Every structure is written in structure tokens, then in C-alpha cells.
Chain A
């Protein structure tokens, strides 16, 4: 038999039809739905008189719009409120399981899928959200789709898909101390560019990846889309299986053992080839900070804001000039001298329990700088609860952070959490586009540790030189 990549194994297994001269018809095992990209899809079904084919394989929650302050208060934005009510009604009308705002399972869709054990190795997973690539961390083929495709999956449980190409991104060696999965993926994007993986599904391999926790792997796969990739994936291993064991929707007992035996086959065969390969020396990666308005515009914390003239092409030079103008930065400024006004720790990239533990460890014993407004937004109600039980919330609150309810929050600022024009933010999210966190807002993407340290110092600082004041605390396996 011809050796196959991880991607090809999952792809081949899910192609139910390959009509002559047409794209493949790919079966979808799990469809995640949220309030922003679904209303028009449900409306389309109604207009065409179609039903949801597999409501049992469809799961909905709300995350983008939701306020992260007191949940007992009414939602003040009438249009947001209407969008949320529309999702609730659509789920009711079409018989879809729905984790509402007051549900203990509510959270960012890419946080709750894994934590509930809905995300499993070998599945095809889609959602009307580009960061669906997150779920690839479990050895699933997961990608974002538009609203028309949401409607398509609701109606048929399938998608028409042209087969993407494959790319291996190999992180050789180990990440140095203080350097995180976030730094690794930002370094990759800085290297290959935001369109570097367009048309490809990335498989991440190498020692650095193998040693990562599931949370770290999710951070890596999450930002695959920021390199233009259709999806990112990592072969499942013991770390994956341990994470999934006893999750609410994961198989149990005998069934779990049987599933694990099958999942162990989900790795790239020896001799299988990728269409493209990139290698990165993980041991040489430094903590990253972005300086521009695209996730690829990033550099090491030890370096300075680049001079647009230093770029190779006219397009790059012009992009850098526009970016620096928007960001209000002067070439040659050391990254450590950039002062910040706000800190956002959250988003589907970095709002899981490990992220909060890492940030809390930095913060413990310190106070947020007087001129900085900082907030922590857990990815889900479960993460929030766990962080409170572990005492992390107390550490953040004592240091002067705001401690919020779960949601997308300031990652895209569709809710009341918004930057003011000119405000500069150290953010653990995934996009530093113009206006992403609020019109005129200036976003610098960093790891949770780097964001936490920036909150304390009031400017960026090299986390590798941080003086930890807190006691060494036990880290527990996530529940």
C-alpha cells in the first residue's frame, strides 16, 4: 500500500463521492455553530424548505458577541441580543444541542469542543470560523468555512472540497525555557508569511511538538490560518489520549480503548511525502512580539522595530510603512521600550487553563503597572471555574487584573470589550489587523507569559529574564 500522510488518511476516509470533474464530497463528523456566522445559513434552509440532516452531530454555543461582565445583567446592545436570540431559536427549531449563555459548558467554541471531548482524533470538523484549525491539534482535519458552507453542512452533513496540498512544518530540537508554543507559531508565520501556506494543510512534526501539551498544540494549530493554511494538524499520541480520557463526550471504557487502538494508526507513514516542507530550529526561537498589522510582522523581543527600507520588495516596504504609521512606531525602537496601555489575556489561541497558569505564575507577587488596564478572559466557564479553584483568579485580581466571564471578548471586540483609538495592547489573541480590537487600536501579539510581564512592567520585557516571586505551584492535569 502506498504510504500516506496523516492528512491523506483522514481525507481518504471521508470522501464519500468523487464525481467526474467535480470536487470531492467530504463527510463532516462534527459541525460547530456560533451566533455570528449562522443566522443566514438557517434562513437559507428555511427558504429552501430543507432540514438539518444530522442535528446530533451539530453543536452550538455563543461566544463572539457575549458580554464578559456580569451575566445576570440584561444585554444592552439590541442587535447583539437579537443575534443571540436568533441562534437560540434556530437551535430549538432544528433540534440542535445548544450551550446557552447561562450553561456551565458555555465558552469559545474552539475551547469547549476539546474540553468536552467533542473534538476527537480522525474526525472532520468544521465551523463558520477560521480558527477551527485549532482542533487539528488532536489529529482531526478541522477547518473554517463561510456561511454558505455552514448551510451546506447543515443540509447535507457534507462539503464539496478540492483536495488541498500538504506541508510538513518540522520543529527540530526543543523550545528554550520561557519560549512558548505561541512564540513558535509566530516565528513560523514571520518566516513563511501570512500567505506562506495558502492552499496547504500543515502537519506539525518534530521533537518540540511531541513534547507539547494539548493546550500548546492547540495554540500552534489555532494560528495555522494566520499563515494562510486551510488547516493545521498534529498526529495524536499518548498526550492526546490522556487529555481525552474521561471527557464528557469522549468514548468511555472498552469503547475508549478500542478508539485509541484505531487512533494510533493516525500518523504519517514512513516514506509518505508532503508537497512542501519547512524546517525550523526550535532551540533558536526567542519570545516574539509583533510590531505591525499582520501576524507575520513580528520579531524577537531582543530586537527593534524594523526599518521599512530593509524589506526586499516594494509591496513589503509599503505594507511595513503603512503598518508603522498605524501602529505609531518609529523604526529602530527596541521592542522592550514599547509602552503599552492595555493587556488582554484570552481568545481561542491562549485562554485555556495552562495559559492562565503560566500567566498567573508571572503575575504572582506583583502589581499591574499604574498606567495599564489589564484583563483576563477565560476561554470557557469550565476554565474559569477551574482557575478559581486553583487560586489563579485570586492572583490576577490581587495584582489588579480584571477577571471576566468567558467569551471571545477583545480578540475581535464585537462585544463591549474594545480598545480606544490609539490605545496600545499586549494581546494573547491571534490577529493584529488594523481595527481588530477597536478602531485605531494597536495590537501586539504575544504569549500569555509575555502579556502578563508587560502588564506588570508597563512595557514589553524579555520573559527569560523574569524574576518569579510566587511559590512553585503544583500543576494539575486538566479535568
Chain B
């Protein structure tokens, strides 16, 4: 996993609450067996019309937000299906940070597994960022995971909270399977005591 310490980038505002993972990546694109190449399908039904032409009214199609790496969103971002294709598509498109007042559990978790940072700020802070991101010029933010802050060049600075363990894993790009396997002996010992009636064999 690619570590993340600091990220500076243009902010794309996506002003909708309860954005579900079906919207992030519609089901017809879940059939691929690779992890890569999903960015082209990100927000597909909002980004493209039924003929496949870009819809100019959708934020990702506006020149101002080109090359953006920070997505700004509203409450309960990433709700619905557990599909990890959602963070894969965001990451492949170029987003490494998502800022919102709240996230759905599974999506939030999936982000960290892919070197992406979901940041929770208050609704008021998110509102302020939306106003700045809507201005004519591209709005740039820096996210610093070391000091757990978000700041711009105009003196705005917010601090955010994050679980310490998740932070460490992201800062160092750790493989959490390897971490769990450090408890191998305990796993093996636990397995000796599994109830026999949980064994799966046709009975």
C-alpha cells in the first residue's frame, strides 16, 4: 500500500448527501477481475449522458477541477454496497483524500486499505470549504496526516481526528495481513478450541 503523509491538491466539491457506492461506480463496471482501471467509470451515470458523452454540468467535467486529488462531499458518503470498487475508482481517478461530515462504515474502512484518507470535519467546516471550492479559481488544500490538519494558503486551518492505528498504517503504508499474522500462534491456539459443531462437513 502506498503511504500517505501529506497531500496537496485541488478540491472538487460534490454537493450531495448520502452519495452511495452505486453512484460512485455503477454495477455494470464491477465485472472486471483486476483492481486497476476503474477511474474511467467513476460517477459514470452522473458524469456521462446515456450516449456516453460528458455532461458539462457535472463537477468532474469542469476544467477548474481537472487534476483534483481531494474530494469534498456531504453526510454519509459511501453508503450502501460494500464494493471496494468504489475506493478503487476514486483512487484510480486521482483522489487520495475525501473530506465529508460523515462516512458509511464499510466505505470508510475500505479507503484505508487502499492508501486513501477519509477525513471527517464538522458540517460547518465542510460548508466553508464548499464556499471556497465554488469560487472561480481552483481551490487548493493541503492535508497533513502527521499533524492531522487541513490548511490552505489563506490562513484556514482545521484539525481532524483519526484512529491512531489507522493513521500509523497509512503513514507507513503497512500491510495489515502481515500484522495479523504476527498473532499466528494465538490464532492456532484459538482454533484448537473451536466448537466441533461449527465444523463444516455434510452431516
Chain A interface (Cβ < 8 Å from any Cβ of B)? 16-17, 19, 21-23, 25, 27, 29-30, 36-37, 39-40, 43, 48, 50, 53-54, 56-57, 59, 64-65, 77, 79-80, 82-83, 86, 97, 118, 120, 122-123, 128-130, 144-149, 151-152, 155-160, 162, 194-195, 198-199, 225, 228, 230, 248-252, 255-256, 258-259, 262, 294, 315-316, 318-319, 322, 412-414, 421, 431, 433-436, 439-440
In the complex the two chains form, is B200's CB within 8 Å of A319's CB?
Answer: no
Please provide the 7 A-B residue pairs with the shortest distance between their CB atoms, ordered closest to farther: A148-B113, A39-B33, A251-B197, A146-B84, A146-B110, A147-B84, A195-B76
In the complex the two chains form, is A83's CB within 8 Å of B33's CB?
Answer: yes
**16 other contacts beyond A27-B187, A251-B197, A439-B26, with CB at 8 A cut-off?**
A27-B190, A29-B198, A40-B34, A65-B31, A79-B31, A146-B106, A152-B177, A155-B180, A156-B177, A228-B76, A248-B203, A249-B200, A252-B203, A262-B195, A434-B22, A435-B22
What's the least CB distance linking A283 to chain B, in Å? 30
Q: Write the chain A residue with the least CB distance to B180.
A: A156
Within 8 A of A (CB), among B147-174: 163-165
In the complex the two chains form, is A255's CB within 8 Å of B200's CB?
Answer: no
Cα(A151)–Cα(B189), bound, Å: 22
- Asked if B74 is at the interface of the complex by the 8 Å CB criterion, the answer is yes
Q: Give the residue of B31, B50, B113 whose beta carbon is less than 8 angstroms from that of A414.
A: B31
| Residue-wise interface mask of B (8-40) relative to A, using a CB-CB cutoff of 8 A (1 in contact, 0 not) | 000000011110101100111011111100000
In the complex the two chains form, is A123's CB within 8 Å of B82's CB?
Answer: no
What's the least CB distance linking A67 to chain B, in Å? 13
Q: Give the residue of B33, B79, B104, B187 whose beta carbon is less than 8 angstroms from that of A43.
A: B33
With an 8 Å Cβ cutoff, the count of chain B residues facing the other chain is 60
Question: What would be 7 A-B contacts, judged by CB atoms less than 8 Å apart?
Answer: A43-B33, A50-B177, A83-B31, A146-B84, A259-B197, A262-B195, A412-B22
Q: Give the residue of A22, A59, A144, A315 whose beta carbon is less than 8 angstroms from that of B82.
A: A144
In the complex the two chains form, is A431's CB within 8 Å of B22's CB?
Answer: yes
In the bound complex, residues from chain B placing their C-beta under 8 Å from that of A83 are 31-33
In the bound complex, residues from chain A placing their C-beta under 8 Å from that of B80 are 130, 225, 431, 433
In the complex the two chains form, is B106's CB within 8 Å of A144's CB?
Answer: yes
Cα(A56)–Cα(B110), bound, Å: 26
Q: Give the residue of A158, A162, A412 whose beta carbon is less than 8 angstroms from that of B180.
A: A158
Q: Write the chain A residue with the least CB distance to B183.
A: A17
Q: Write the chain A residue with the least CB distance to B165.
A: A22
Cα(A128)–Cα(B106), bound, Å: 10
Knowing A27-B190, A146-B84 touch, does A36 contact B164 (C-beta < 8 A)?
Answer: no
- Asked if B176 is at the interface of the complex by the 8 Å CB criterion, the answer is yes
In the complex the two chains form, is B22's CB within 8 Å of A433's CB?
Answer: yes
Within 8 A of A (CB), among B23-72: 23, 26-28, 30-35, 45, 50
What's the least CB distance linking B151 to chain A, in Å? 26
Candidate in A228, A248, A440 with the most chain B CB atoms within 10 angstroms? A228
Cα(A120)–Cα(B26), bound, Å: 33
Cα(A91)–Cα(B188), bound, Å: 23
In the complex the two chains form, is B165's CB within 8 Å of A21's CB?
Answer: yes
What's the least CB distance linking A34 to chain B, in Å? 11
Q: Give the residue of A148, A228, A433, A434 whose beta carbon is less than 8 angstroms from that of B110.
A: A148
